[in-house]
Amino acid sequence: MSDNSARMRTIFRTKTSKALNHMEDPRDALDDSYEQQVKLLHQVRQAVAEVATAKKRIELQGEEMGARYGRLGAQALEAMEQGREDLARAALERRAGLEGQVGKLQAQHSSLQKQMSQLQEREHRLAEQIAAFRVEKETMKATYSASEAQVRANEAVAGIGANMNDIGASLDRARDRVAQMQARAQATDELLSSGALQDLTAAPDADIERQLAELASRSDIERQLKAMRAAGTDRASTTGAPSDSSDGWLGIGQAPTP
């Protein structure tokens, strides 16, 4: 991959990320709209309950007035039967005044009944709209999530995704560290072999002992060569060969008996 290509992908990824960050997530907007509609439906239902409560109060008050209206009529009849026309007139006058009050209650009851019917109709329609919106909302959210996943997958395949770039950078760093460690291991091996580095795990004065052992080995070889030259090839082979006994190997490397 050329430097220009890598630079273009980096620029494209940066601009894309900034654009996506400035964009409003439609899933959040859809959820907010749904919550607002649910709140509105709750308010409508609360209004229906309040109207129903007021209507019930009027009904109870109307029933009470109706019972009083009936009692006044019965009292008027009883007063006439007992020859008390004045009491009958008073009862009828009160009942007439009660009729006006009952008429007002009837008008209020009719108005509340109409209002409650309208609110119930709106509640029903709003509930249906919210149910339909919820289905559409979930469908749109699922579609957006699938498209978002597809975009990220395409970016990963194209190598413009932030995660893939991070993975590539990690691999490059790992390769560099492995190469550095291998070179360091080889360098330290060479330094230890040359004696430039001291083996801290070795015994004290081990380097002197090692050099003396090497000198002794070379001296022994020179001694054997000198003996071979002096005694001839046959004599050298006889002298240096181990015996045929089963424990002849014990004499290998031992100094010859004088």
Q: Whole-angstrom Cα distance, residue 148 to residue 142?
A: 10
| Comparison of pLDDT for 255 and 43, the residue scoring more | 43
Structural element, H or E, at residue 187: helix 162-194
5 has pLDDT over 70? no
Structural element, H or E, at residue 193: helix 162-194
Q: Whole-angstrom Cα distance, residue 85 to residue 176?
A: 121
Closest listed residue to residue 36, CA positions, set 152, 170, 103, 134: 134
Tell me the pLDDT of the chain averaged across its residues.
Answer: 77
| 85-158 vs 162-194: helix crossing angle, rounded to 10 | 40
What does the pLDDT read at residue 43? 93
Q: Whole-angstrom Cα distance, residue 47 to residue 123?
A: 10
86 has pLDDT over 70? yes
Q: What digits encode the pLDDT tens for the residues 140-158? A: 888 888 888 888 887 777 6
Q: What digits encode the pLDDT tens for the residues 185-198? A: 787 777 766 666 55
What's the distance, CA 20 to chain centroid? Answer: 19
> Which of these ranges, 43-47, 168-172, 191-195, has the smallest mean pLDDT?
191-195
Amino acid letter at 187?
Answer: A
| Comparison of pLDDT for 99 and 245, the residue scoring more | 99
210 has pLDDT over 80? no
Q: Whole-angstrom Cα distance, residue 156 to residue 166?
A: 11
